[in-house]
Structure 1
Amino acid sequence: MCIEKVNEIHTKRLILRRFSKDDLNNYYNILKQEQVTKWLGTGKRKSYDDVKKTIEVIGNHWIQNNYGVWAVINKENNDLIGHCGLKNIDNTKDVELLYAFDPTSWGNGYATESAKAAIEFAKTKTDLKKLIAIAYPDNRKSRNVIEKVGFQYKGMQEHFGANLSYYELDLYK
């Protein structure tokens, strides 16, 4: 069950809220790790300036679309543990469900819990008809999450210069 506040979504164990400038150092500590970024976009590590720009882009995406990517906070200790949300894919009409977490948080179901909250938000607070998800084919853990929350595998597609597993979720089924 999710409880939505003005700018936050609360699940059993997590708070999904918009990023703030105060998140920069903690978010950088997550995105500078190769074991995290090898599964994201181009697969390259993020610099401090990259992460700063990412937070700005996420903020602008929210302003332009009324949906976007949330900072994911662990309610137990109030730590930023990753991100999850909805992002337009450049040069397409597709909206991607995406997430990434600090490796210390892996294996606890946080990706699934936050993804379900983001999907519920998409269904109830947007006019989106479908979401997509993409993952590196050898990222079995991420593909398991994508399938667990209801996405259907549609084949391989090129994104970010790589051939990725491509999934779709019809929000009205």
Structure 2
Amino acid sequence: MELLTFKATHTRPNAMTILETNRLTLHHLSLDDAPFMVELLNDPAWLQYIGDRNVKTLDQARFYLENGPLKSYRDLGFGPYLVRLKENNMPIGTCGLLKRDVLPAPDIGYAFMPDHRGKGYALEAAQGTLLYGRETLGMHTVYAYTTPNNEKSGKLLEKLGFTFERIFHWPETAEALKLYKSTTSA
């Protein structure tokens, strides 16, 4: 995949464009994205593979955005990004880099609405996000994790160059997860 452009990075927590790929643009999420986030966070696949974030209303979505992605942009300079189709500017999912206390380096995460799965968008967005993380943010080790039954995400991670490391247990819930790692030289 050829990455077309990188634009200004993590200087303002708004809807600025982070990167563009052939078919997609990735932007900072903003409070204006609350309606889309209510829909995405309540998608059955999100609930099954990522978990219930208890976001059912616009106010809850704004709280989630303010204390999740927007806080991450302010504190770390990166986070999950809104993925839009270039052709019509339609939001179709999220993809980004997250820093969790339980992992020694950032991890990549992604989720797409049902109508936009199986079309290569997750692969394209994740490739761009990883390239952005490495070239712009200097991240040479990135983790990812999936539930053991999420075979599609595991296959996508392998296409992205991740290797399975081990099963680990999430500290708060003891849930067993498959941990993947990708490392490039500096």
Q: TM-score, normalised by structure 2?
A: 0.85
Counterpart of 2:34 in structure 1 is 24
Identity, in percent, stands at 27
Structure 1 ranges of 4+ moved more than 4 A:
none
- Once the two structures are TM-superposed, the CA of residue 164 in structure 1 deviates from its matched residue by 0.6
CA distance in 2, matches of 1:167, 1:139: 13
**SS of structure 2 residue aligned to 1:38:** helix
CA distance in 1, matches of 2:82, 2:64: 12
Please give the per-residue CA displacement for 1:99-151, whole angstroms capped at 9, x wherever unaligned: 01111111011111010011101111113230000001111111111111000
2:128 pairs, out of 117, 133, 152, with 117
CA distance in 2, matches of 1:126, 1:69: 14
Counterpart of 1:5 in structure 2 is 7
Task: Write the mapping of 1:21-170 to structure 2, written as runs, cut at 5 A.
Answer: 21-40=31-50, 43-44=51-52, 46-47=54-55, 48=57, 49-56=59-66, 57-159=68-170, 161=173, 162-170=175-183
Cα distance change on mapping 1:89 and 1:145 into 2, 3 Å: same
Residue type at the aligned position of 1:19:
L
Cα distance change on mapping 1:168 and 1:15 into 2, 3 Å: same
Cα distance change on mapping 1:59 and 1:171 into 2, 3 Å: farther
CA distance in 1, matches of 2:76, 2:39: 28
CA distance in 1, matches of 2:52, 2:82: 21
**SS of structure 2 residue aligned to 1:63:** helix
CA distance in 1, matches of 2:73, 2:82: 13
Counterpart of 2:11 in structure 1 is none
Unaligned runs of 5+ in 2: 9-15
- Once the two structures are TM-superposed, the CA of residue 52 in structure 1 deviates from its matched residue by 2.3
Unaligned runs of 5+ in 1: none
Paired residues of 1:156 and 1:163 also in contact (CA < 8 A) = yes
